[in-house]
Amino acid sequence: MEESRRAVSIRQLEEELQRERCRTKRRKRRRIALVCLLVLLILLIVLGSGFSTVLRISGDAMAGTLRDGDIAVGLKSSHYRSGDVVVFRFNSGVLVKRLLAQSGDWVELDPAGWFFVNGARLNEPYVTETSRGNCDVVFPLTIPEGSCFVAGDNRPVSIDSRSSVVGCVEESALVGKLLLRIWPLTRIGLIH
């Protein structure tokens, strides 16, 4: 009889321990959710200050780096360099592409779809498939003063400076450079 009571007491203690573990896990999840909400609130305050931009990616032109539906945060800037993922005004909207060359640079595109800037092939680890894409621009091309050359990372589908539809982008049209992906949460991170 005594052993039976001990077994029941042990089972009750184990059940209580299990309930306490569940409560502890729920508390941790709530704390994590609260911290995420606070970080998001701080981001929204910073973003509302006018020093940055928030953008929902639409399309596959930057696939590999950014996917359709991703949300990214960027900073307004007046200084850009080759390799930056930039946002620029185009018609009545904005486009996101990678800046490859700036004023005075000359750009060449080889038959396989690799870019050369000032005679040196670009190291582009973010490109998974090269392609000449929708190319109707004559190469080699010297980038005009006050302009830059941009291309999407998903070269087979991107419409960018290789096409006369977009052409070279005026530097005054640049809005900023994207730095951080904030959505989806599983892919939060810096944009390279």
Sorted by sequence, the CB contacts under 8 Å of residue 103 that are 6+ apart come out as: 143, 144, 145, 146, 147, 148, 171
pLDDT of residue 5: 73
pLDDT of residue 161: 97
pLDDT tens sequence across 46-78 = 555 565 778 899 999 999 899 999 999 888 888
Higher-scoring residue by pLDDT: 44, 73: 73
The H-or-E segment that residue 13 falls in is helix 2-47
* Strands, E assignment, the chain: 52-56, 71-75, 85-90, 93-102, 106-109, 115-117, 120-121, 141-142, 147-151, 169-170, 174-183, 189-190
Rounded to 5 degrees, φ, ψ at 41 are -60, -45
Rounded to 5 degrees, φ, ψ at 58 are -125, 120
pLDDT of residue 50: 60
pLDDT of residue 118: 97
What architecture is domain 52-190? Ribbon (2.10)
